[in-house]
Structure 1
Amino acid sequence: MTKFFLALHILAAIVAIGPVAVAASMFPPVARRALAAPGAGDAEATMAVLYRICRIYALVGIAVPLFGFAAAGVMKVTGQTWVIVSIVLTLLAAVVLGALVLPRQAQLIEGGRDGAAASVKDTKQLAMFVGIFNLLWAAVTIIMIVRPGSTLGH
């Protein structure tokens, strides 16, 4: 059962978090192109697609901690420091995505439609938050591999 939940956890992370990380990273430069030439090209449509990918896969990403909890429970490691730290970092990543990245993407899309005062500064701030999101997930991945303090392996 351990291998089953661990495999589901890893597959969910790859399938759900990977697309969010890539789409969110692509969004700021596309938004800058849209700001530079409003109405020209397909940048606004691309922004909408990237935003939709981020939203949908963020919801699918809920499977990652669910399967992670299942795997940790079967492995009896839920109280270990490396698991607790990864849970905290995962929660922080979810907050960054839900409170800082997705709303700013939506604002940039709406700004493009409404002619609101979206600026390059907004895209740079979004890029910073996306970078934080990606760094948090990179840290979780490293913790899952290294498992500092774990009694599972040396």
Structure 2
Amino acid sequence: MAHFLIILHILTAMLFLGPVTVAVSTFHTRALAAHNGEDNAKGAASTLYKITQAYGNLSILVPLIGFAIMFTNSKFWHEGRFHASILLAVIAWVLLYFVIYPRQKKMMGALGLLEADEQAAETYEVADWDKAKGQLSMFGGIFSLLWVVIAILMMWH
């Protein structure tokens, strides 16, 4: 059972964390380009926003499966690298859900690209687009770096 869960853990990491990391890393550039009048950038920003949302939510399976793996063998409970990985994954999701998602939504709303009900629910405004792009770039980089550190911890013996 442990081998099956490990394979599933690795597959979900590749299939879900890869796309969300790329989307988080590129959304802000396409949103700024859309703000600057590039029509094709609006479609790209919308797609990247949806990828961030969908794959970000699905990627919660990665640490859940990892946590399940810890129950297959007691040796996993005695290795600090697994505990550190879980902590870093929680930090990454807090960053994604409470910092990156809201900032992306604000930019999408300011561009008028949200679903009609979301667009009508609130007034969205971005005062400084370059600053907003820079902040999303920074937070996206931290999010990506956390996953790199987690991957290194998983492979470290």
CA distance in 2, matches of 1:12, 1:102: 21
**Does the CA-based 8 Å contact 1:9-1:67 persist in structure 2?**
yes
SS in structure 2 of the partner of residue 74 of structure 1:
coil
Q: Could you tell me how far 1:75 is from its partner in structure 2?
A: 2.5
The residue that corresponds to 1:62 in the other structure is: 60
**Count of aligned pairs:** 145
RMSD across aligned positions (CA): 1.5
1:108 aligns with 2:117: no
* Residue 23 of structure 1: aligned partner: 23
Q: Which runs of 5+ in 2 are unaligned?
A: 113-122
Could you tell me how far apart the structure 2 residues matched to 1:35 and 1:87 are?
Answer: 37
Contact 1:35 1:120 in 2 (8 A): no
The answer to whether the 8 A contact 2:32-2:130 is kept is yes
Mapped contact 2:16–2:55 kept (Cα < 8 A): yes
The answer to whether the 8 A contact 1:31-1:44 is kept is: yes
Choose the corresponding residue for 2:133, options 100, 117, 123: 123
The one-letter code matched in structure 1 to 2:4 is F
Flag the 1:46–1:139 CA change in 2: closer, same or farther, 3 A. same
Instruction: Quote the sequence identity (%).
Output: 35
**Contact map agreement 1:69 1:78 (CA 8 A) in 2:** no
Residue 139, structure 1, aligned to residue 127, structure 2: no
Q: What's the counterpart of residue 97 of structure 2? A: 98
- Alpha-carbon distance in structure 1 between the residues aligned to 2:33 and 2:63: 35
Against the structure 1 CA distance between its residues 108 and 80, is the aligned structure 2 distance closer, same or farther, given a 3 Å change threshold? same
Counterpart CA distance in 1 for 2:124 and 2:57 is 29
**TM-score, with structure 1 as normaliser:** 0.88
Residue 115 of structure 1, CA deviation: 7.7
Q: What are structure 1's unaligned runs of at least 5 residues?
A: 148-154
- How far did 1:8 drift? 0.5
Report runs of 4+ in structure 1 exceeding 6 Å deviation: none
By how many angstroms is 1:21 displaced?
Answer: 0.3
